[in-house]
């Protein structure tokens, strides 16, 4: 049996990949919740319903990724506290963050359910597209508290030195989603409502089980205890994780703008193609996010322990891993553009041709995405939420949003696809500049 890897170790490539692999796979399976719904809806329900899922999901994702903020920011603070040998304080911080995020989820769920029609109408949906978006959104949002917990526990399992268990929970939730999609859509013929119910149940599986595990005695570094309120630490966690929340929320917000632009330039077909492209992006981005999250606690621990030589070692190896992975993703996106389009769109020839064309353009973005994501996560791990947030802000609200609003005026529909490439390229450059400028401060 392979030995357990501890945060305090010196990492080789082999150890680094072993330690981060569960986090990577966790993120991939978390992305599969959305993709599985999309596949069943596109192939067995209808193309308008497929467009409805892709139209409303960015809105839901903005709320759900609050858990990502608590998870990333809280993990960095908790791992640093563990590195300072303050175990009891780490458990108290952990418990306070979990409780606060769960309460916040319930507080957002009710008003979100009520105003779902108004939200969807603002996106430009009408008729069947509007009705289907509201139906899916209202069912899915009932699992919002569990979805927030699922997001943050993906990070906390890594900090607790239990990435394998976190992987198991996420895989089980993903398999539940597939099972219930098949049962509700193919078996019970519930259509779009069945897809939403399947995803909601999957979030509950992934969010509730960790509460049971951490609420009992266990052999991890963390356990749920009676929390001691520490407002300053909570603000620190939120500020530190704000960059990742901003990145995820901004991606969703920009996704909303993309959908609005696509409805304008290409109609419902544009939204369908964009949804397909985002499914591939979800998987590829999940790999980079999973690696960055997985290695983040290691960076935080060695930063707290003032082990500068290991910070340098981790950074050098991370750059190599991300560079190789980026090149592989570019090739895969080019090679599988056509078969993946056919898988979802089947024999709708004009849609397939449009999707393949868009794939050929957007694939270049994957050469830069990993660097942009890693740089932001790296500064979060060093508890510098300001720089991390600035990188995320530039990537989304400046480069991505600016490009999707301006480039279509010159290039038409293709301008929307080129916007993704431009934004990732500029974000990678910005992240590299910050990495170079602050290397002496953090001794990496």
**Cβ within 8 Å of residue 138, ≥6 positions away:** 113, 116
* Distance separating alpha carbons of residues 65 and 97, to the nearest angstrom: 14
- Which whole-number Å values give the CA distances from 128 to 99, 269, 374, in the listed order? 39, 14, 40
Supply the DSSP symbol for 66.
Answer: H
* Distance separating alpha carbons of residues 298 and 160, to the nearest angstrom: 11
* Distance separating alpha carbons of residues 189 and 197, to the nearest angstrom: 12
As a whole number of Å, the end-to-end CA separation of the chain is: 34
101-120 residues labelled b (16+ CB within 10 A) or e (exposed): bbebbeebbeebeeebeebb
398, 265 contact by CB (below 8 A): no
Longest dimension (CA), the chain: 61
* Number of Cβ atoms within 10 Å of the Cβ of 55: 29
Per-residue pLDDT at 1: 43
Q: Which residues of the chain have pLDDT under 50?
A: 1
394, 425 contact by CB (below 8 A): no
* Distance separating alpha carbons of residues 194 and 180, to the nearest angstrom: 8
**Cβ within 8 Å of residue 274, ≥6 positions away:** 54, 255, 258, 259, 262, 358, 416
Supply the DSSP symbol for 365.
Answer: G
- Give the CA count within 13 Å in the CB-facing half-sphere of 293: 39
Per-residue pLDDT at 347: 64
- Which whole-number Å values give the CA distances from 354 to 135, 256, 263, 277, 351, in the listed order? 28, 20, 15, 11, 5
Q: How much is the pTM? A: 0.76
Per-residue pLDDT at 405: 94
388, 245 contact by CB (below 8 A): no
List the Cα angle 278/283/288 in 5-degree steps. Answer: 115
50, 38 contact by CB (below 8 A): yes
147, 203 contact by CB (below 8 A): yes
Select from 35, 26, 105 the least CA-distant residue to 65.
105
Select from 34, 62, 31, 381 the least CA-distant residue to 245.
62
* Distance separating alpha carbons of residues 273 and 356, to the nearest angstrom: 9
Residues in the chain: 444
Q: Taking the mean position of all CA atoms in its chain, how far away is CA 31? A: 7
* Distance separating alpha carbons of residues 107 and 421, to the nearest angstrom: 37
Per-residue pLDDT at 154: 85
Answer positive or negative: Cα dihedral of 35, 360, 25, 388: negative
Q: Taking the mean position of all CA atoms in its chain, how far away is CA 2? A: 29
């Amino acid at each position: 049996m392979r030995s357990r890897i501890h945060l305090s170790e010196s990492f080789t490539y082999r150890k680094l990949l072993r330690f981060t692999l569960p986090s990577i796979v966790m993120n991939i399976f978390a992305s599969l919740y959305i993709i599985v719904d999309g596949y069943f809806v596109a192939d067995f329900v209808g193309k308008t319903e497929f467009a409805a899922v892709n139209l409303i999901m960015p809105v839901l994702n903005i709320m759900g990724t609050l858990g990502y903020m608590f998870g990333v920011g809280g993990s960095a603070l908790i791992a640093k506290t563990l590195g300072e040998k303050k175990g009891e304080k780490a458990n108290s911080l952990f418990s306070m963050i979990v409780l606060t995020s769960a309460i916040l989820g319930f507080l957002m769920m009710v008003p979100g359910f009520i105003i779902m029609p108004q939200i969807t109408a603002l996106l430009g949906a009408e008729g069947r597209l509007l009705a289907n978006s509201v139906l899916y959104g209202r069912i899915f949002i009932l699992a919002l508290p569990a979805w927030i917990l699922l997001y943050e526990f993906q990070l906390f399992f890594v900090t607790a030195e239990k990435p394998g268990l976190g992987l198991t929970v996420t895989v089980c939730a993903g398999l539940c989603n597939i099972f219930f999609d098949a049962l509700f859509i193919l078996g019970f013929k519930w259509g779009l409502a069945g897809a939403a119910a399947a995803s909601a149940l999957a979030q509950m599986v992934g969010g509730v089980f960790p509460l049971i595990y951490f609420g009992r005695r266990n052999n991890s570094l963390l356990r749920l205890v009676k929390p001691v309120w520490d407002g300053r630490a909570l603000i620190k966690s939120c500020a530190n994780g704000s960059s990742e929340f901003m990145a995820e929320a901004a991606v969703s917000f920009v996704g909303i703008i993309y959908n609005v632009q696509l409805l304008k330039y290409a109609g419902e077909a544009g939204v369908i193609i964009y949804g397909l492209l985002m499914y591939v992006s979800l998987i590829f981005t999940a790999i980079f996010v999973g690696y960055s999250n997985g290695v983040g606690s290691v960076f935080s621990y060695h930063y707290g322990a003032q082990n500068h030589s290991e910070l340098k070692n981790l950074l050098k190896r991370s750059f190599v891993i991300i560079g190789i992975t980026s090149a592989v993703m570019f090739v895969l996106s080019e090679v599988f553009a056509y078969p993946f389009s056919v898988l979802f769109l089947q024999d709708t020839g004009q849609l397939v041709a449009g999707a393949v064309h868009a794939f050929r353009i957007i694939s270049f973005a994957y050469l830069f995405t990993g660097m942009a994501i890693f740089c932001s996560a790296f500064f979060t791990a060093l508890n510098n939420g300001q720089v991390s947030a600035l990188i995320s802000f530039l990537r989304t609200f400046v480069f991505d949003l600016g490009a999707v609003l301006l480039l279509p005026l010159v290039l038409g529909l293709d301008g929307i696809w080129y916007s993704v490439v431009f934004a990732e390229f500029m974000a990678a450059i910005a992240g590299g500049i910050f990495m170079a400028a602050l290397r002496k401060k953090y001794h990496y």
